[in-house]
Chains A and B, each alone.
Chain A
Amino acid sequence: MSARAIFTRPARLAAIAPYVWMALFFLVPFGFVLKIALSQTAIAQPPYLPVFDLTAGAGAIKAAFAALSLDNFRLLVSDDLYIFSYLRSLVVALVSTSILLLIGYPIAYGMARLPQRWQAIAMMLVIIPFWTSFLIRIYAWINILQHDGLLNRILLALHLVASPLVWLSTDSAMYLGIVYSYLPFMILPLYAVLAKMDPALLEAAGDLGAEPRSAFWLVTFPLSLPGVAAGVLLCFIPIVGEFVIPDLLAGSDSLMIGQTLWLEFFTNKDWPVASAAAVVLLALLVAPLVFYDRLQRRQLESNH
């Protein structure tokens, strides 16, 4: 009996549903973005040229195709504003993800070792911030970090500083905001892996002469790598494209690609360049995703 035969018709329909979804809400819009990225900016409605008009006949469509060009992509690689934006995004994502891993791993590890009853409570504590709007939480940080904010007032009251420090509009504030916002995305996959690990494995390591520290590095850590990979990607990818946090908390002297994109789109009204920037960003992020996919495949294969 072939494997296909066990799927009934509704099951097969359900199986193609995600592909239909992806085609409708990802591939088609991406096609639009790609097309705009290959167009030229224009003072028109919509603000780019050429425009495909399916009613104008085959000749007009042919002419529209001929008008597409890679000029916008050339601009992206020749203007260091964009290159610096991409680089800054990657650096910020890399640094934040490293900090997140360093903070998230011990928290997830601690959670996984709590008694069962406390694990559920710890899990709630990690998730509860999601109940408040993300934007409100970032504004709350502005409140805390501003010149006469809570942080400076506490520091002054404790006589740790003589005059208020500048927190807001610095990279530190941005990193703080990013780490704060993304921490649950790092903790949860790590916790999931660590919590299901058989405690007998650590006992076995101890029994075979491994002291607790080497038992961690020889057993726990290698076995938690799938969780590390999931957490790192869940944080790294959205942080590269992050717009709100750097815009609200960081200074304006250097921009992340998300901010540059926003400026091109809304301030410069240059839709084609903004679209090209988005396409390049997507291409950059496909690489780690492909890597993760291969990692997971290997994991699955080794299980069979």
Chain B
Amino acid sequence: MTEQAGIVTEDAANGADAEAAKPEPPAVAEAEAAKPEPQAVVEAEPVKPEPPAVAAVDVLKPAPPPAAAADMPLLRIEAVVKKFGAFRAVDRLSLDIRSGEFFALLGPSGCGKTTLLRMLAGFETPDEGRILLDGKDIAQVLPHQRPVNMMFQSYALFPHLSVRDNIAFGLKRAGMARAEIAARVAEMVALVKLEGLEKRKPDQLSGGQKQRVALARSLARRPQVLLLDEPLAALDKKLRESTQLELMELQRRLGMTFIIVTHDQEEAMTVAGRIGVMDAGRLEQVATPRELYEAPASRWIAEFVGDVNLFDGEVETREDRRLVIATRDAGSIVVAEPRQPLTKTTVCIAIRPEKVKLSRRGPASDAVHSHAINRLEGVVTDVGYLGGLTSYKVKLDTGAVLRSSMANTARLDIDAYSPGQRVVAWFTPDDGVVLEQ
């Protein structure tokens, strides 16, 4: 990190590396990732400042469908508005989703993410705007005529039908031949590992099994886009985590486009290649999980995604791509200048807790560039041992509280700090993100 390339590009490069590490990335993806100035795929919201977006690399796409033109996304949402009375559940939202993507809509409850998903399924009709699937406007098309299927949060399995008949329901409606239906159902049952349960009714299944039936049923018609509405919310934590991995594996294997709605940021980050964060009917940021976490577009995003330390302050000096910011609570902090020039001098610095390292005497001078280090001194007030991590609260001498989380890399507690202990909290200029709003 001797070249201070700026946090955004650095992270972008890391993101691309991570993406490229996934199996069989098409050549296009690498080429795109290698571009010095990657173009933004998503025009999130013309009014809002553009997030420092990197091209989302479609590594997961095995073969683009012939209808999708080279630069035409599979699904294009154009300035869509949905009103319930005076309430704008979705407010002039635009979004492009490429074929083969695993896209997550993340947001707090009531942010409009489910309404957006329901418009894609056809259960709600947009008041304004267009929804283009493969270039055709489907905004007014009825649900049963869309090549899109949904997996419901409640699963919505037909209680009077067996597992087999639930999965076959959509195939029968499509007028498929009997033998073909039987073959497809068997394939789906094997895909979600439900062999032997075909004759059971939904009431005779566990929560995890129901979830699988719902997934198999929604995949059986081989939709162009699979919509998943909080698909794992009803499962317990362990099962949810293993199912997340299975969903990813499944999506990769089928090469299908998945759009998942979730309020669980860990879930979104685990499964999705790209995440759209929604608030109050608008997209706040569309980015890869890493970008979202390391380069949040706004203070709101920084706080919504993960834990963060925030310090308000004024820009004092700017030189050598470094900003010195005088904060109210933590003195002067040096951070890397963001790629996009600042328009205001009143800013906010966001530092993730795991970027804040604690030590008894501060960093050894040869370990990092000591002239550019941020050192804050204080007293440990709270220690939360979480197994893999320990989270600390440090009351700084300036009065502010700083959160730090440190990986417990050693089994013995030589690295641990206890309440009341004086420590030096330090982080590099690249660890902080400057936010204007």
Contacts and interface: CB of A to CB of B under 8 A. Distances in A.
A214 B173 contact: yes
Interface string A284-304: 000000000000000000111
B169 A208 contact: yes
A294 B148 CA distance: 41
Interface string A198-216: 1011011111111100110
B150 A207 contact: yes
A219 interface: yes
A204 B156 contact: yes
Nearest to A202: B156
Contacts of A205: 158, 169
Contacts of B150: 203-204, 207
B217 A208 contact: yes
Interface string B140-154: 001110001110101
A103 interface: no
A222 interface: yes
B21 to A, nearest CB: 36
A223 interface: yes
B173 A203 contact: no
B260 to A, nearest CB: 16
Contact of B156 (A201, A211, A223): A201
A207 B122 CA distance: 8
Contact of A302 (B142, B149, B157, B201): B201
A210 B203 contact: no
Contacts of A208: 144, 149, 169-170, 173, 217-218, 221
B144 A209 contact: yes
Classify chain B: how many residues form its interface, as a range: 20 to 34
B144 A210 contact: yes
Contacts of A206: 122-123, 142-144
B424 interface: no
Nearest to A203: B123
Interface in B106-154: 121-123, 142-144, 148-150, 152, 154
A207 B158 contact: no
Nearest to B159: A223
B35 interface: no
Contacts of B152: 200, 203-204
B156 A203 contact: yes
A223 B203 CA distance: 14
B22 interface: no
Interface in A168-225: 198, 200-201, 203-211, 214-215, 218-219, 222-223
Given A203-B123, A209-B144, A209-B221, A222 B160 contact: yes
B174 interface: yes
Nearest to A197: B159
A192 B143 CA distance: 27
A113 B395 CA distance: 57
A203 B123 CA distance: 7
A75 to B, nearest CB: 48
Nearest to A199: B156
Nearest to B220: A208
Nearest to B170: A208
A201 B170 contact: no
A203 B154 CA distance: 12
Nearest to A219: B158
A285 to B, nearest CB: 29
A59 B90 CA distance: 91
Q: Which of A205, A207, A219, A302 has most chain B Cβ within 10 Å? A: A207
A208 B217 CA distance: 8
Given A210-B144, A210-B173, A211-B144, A204 B203 contact: no
A201 B174 CA distance: 18
Contacts of B160: 222-223
Given A208-B221, A209-B144, A209-B173, A201 B203 contact: no
A222 B165 CA distance: 14
Contacts of B174: 209
A200 B144 CA distance: 14
B143 A203 contact: yes
Contacts of A223: 159-160
Contacts of A207: 121-123, 143-144, 148-150, 170, 218
A211 B143 CA distance: 9
Contacts of A209: 144, 170, 173-174, 221
Contacts of A203: 121, 123, 143, 150, 152, 156
B115 to A, nearest CB: 14
Contacts of A222: 160
B402 to A, nearest CB: 46
Contact of A198 (B122, B156, B173, B203): B156
B95 to A, nearest CB: 21
A218 B221 CA distance: 18
A206 B142 CA distance: 8
A198 B170 CA distance: 19
6 contacts: A198-B156, A205-B158, A209-B170, A209-B173, A209-B221, A211-B144
Give the 8 A-B residue pairs with the shortest CB-CB distance, closest first: A208-B170, A209-B173, A204-B156, A200-B156, A206-B143, A206-B144, A222-B160, A209-B144
Given A206-B143, A215-B144, A222-B160, 12 more contacts: A203-B143, A203-B156, A204-B157, A206-B122, A206-B144, A207-B122, A207-B143, A207-B149, A207-B218, A208-B173, A303-B203, A304-B203
